[in-house]
Amino acid sequence: MEFEPRPFRSLSRASRSPTGGSLDPVVSLQAVSAAGTAPAAPAQGLQGEVDGLHGASGMQPSQASHGSGSRVPAPGAKASGAAAGGATGAGSRPGRGGDAGGETCNWVLGSNPTMRKIARSIERAAAVECTVLVCGDTGTGKELWARLLHRSGPRAAKPFVPVNCGALSPTLAESQLFGHEKGAFTGAQGRALGIFRAAEGGVVFLDEIGEMPLELQAKLLRVLQQREVFPVGAEQPVPIDVQVVAATNRNLEAEVGKGTFREDLYFRLNMIELRVPPLRERREDIPEFIRFFARMYSARYRIEEWVPSAEVLAEFCSFDWPGNVRQLSHVIEQAYVLQIEPQIPQRSEPSESAAAGGSGRLPCLDLAKLRQQAIKQALEITRGHKARAAKLLGVHANTLTRMLREDKLEGPAADAGSDADD
């Protein structure tokens, strides 16, 4: 993505405290301490329909401020309430601490009714400690909800351990998840707890659960059913006490139908299933996100706050944002880094085939002529190789030979190279 180097159109000094009341109409929920008490700075609870979240996090209703939107903690917030990293649509990045006033300890919830329903479901799931499946497109903030569940329930003082199932080593996945005993395999010079035992009493977040191999899915199912793990090389299972939250950007029901995901595991995971809508389905929240990111990155990079004009704001709200909140955050942060005005990402260029077709209409509606053109194009692409042309057309080579004869396309051009490279 390229930007035209030009200054911000509209600027105003970021003189307000990132954690002060000047952030209204956004309502904030600060991270709470591991002991379940509010941090030194005044904490604020989710307002309105999600106000009940304050109960699990040790906050009082009197600490809430009022506004049109809501903000929840970003995953970079430590249990002590200190800012640990910059919040983006995908979560925080460690080592980016020091943001003014702990701004990155918050996250915009927005005013979309679906998001508020998700917040209420998170509150309930945290209370009953059941398994949760969070579905949504890439960049919608699925891990944010998992971390909010962790901080909102009785497991807040215990570990939150995220796992990228797509990054698990095929040969060591079982050991990584469930642990192993000394000498269980070559190179196992000591015992390893594994992810589930390391998260004892807390929450395990299984990201990209749809990427988990089938053979490992069966073992995860047993863990969820029996609440115990069998470390590699162990003679007896080990009981565990963890809450499992899984996330995916895939349609697991479709994966079950294709046989790539276990149906019994799917039903075990989605005791509560939350579907996070993409940003294009909650455009009313985009202005709130823009204000939030503009203020956050203004404080981080010590640059005047970008205030979009009405025209630019309308353009941002009309854009589909395929990367969702993560992409919007990146666009605004990149602009602050380059000290230019944030711009809508370049839309993908039309393909060559679409460009050749002009309006995309067929050159004619005569099926016989369309078939002849398709055959000619396939033979041109394959340099006259009939077998490969037939494969492109989705027909048997003998069928292509028959069509060539019927359409009187047989000749040197069609036959040239038909047996080449066989």
Residue 272 — φ and ψ, nearest 5°? -125, 120
Q: What is the pLDDT along the chain (422 residues), one digit of tens a residue?
A: 444 444 444 333 333 333 333 322 222 222 222 333 333 333 233 333 333 333 333 333 223 333 344 444 433 333 333 222 333 333 333 333 333 333 334 566 778 899 989 999 999 999 999 999 999 999 999 999 999 999 999 999 999 999 999 888 777 888 889 987 887 777 777 878 889 999 999 999 999 999 998 888 999 999 999 999 988 888 888 999 999 999 999 999 999 999 999 999 999 999 999 999 999 999 999 999 999 999 999 999 999 999 999 999 999 999 999 999 999 999 999 999 998 899 888 765 444 444 444 455 677 777 788 888 888 888 888 878 888 888 888 888 888 888 888 877 765 444 444 444 44
Exposed e or buried b per residue across 164-198, where buried means at least 16 C-beta atoms within 10 angstroms of its C-beta: ebeebeeeebbbbbbbbbeebeeebeeebebbbbe
> What are the residues facing 107 on neighbouring strands?
72
- Answer whether 0.75 is exceeded by the pTM: no
Q: Return the structure tokens found at 402.
A: 């028959």
Give Rg (Cα) of the chain: 28
Give 198-215 pLDDT, tens digit per residue: 999 999 999 999 999 888
Amino acid letter, 21:
G
List of domains in the chain: 11-112+279-338 (1.10.8.60), 128-276 (3.40.50.300), 365-415 (1.10.10.60)
Packing angle of the helix pair 310-318, 286-301 (nearest 10 deg): 110
Amino acid letter, 413:
A
Give 305-318 pLDDT, tens digit per residue: 999 999 999 999 99
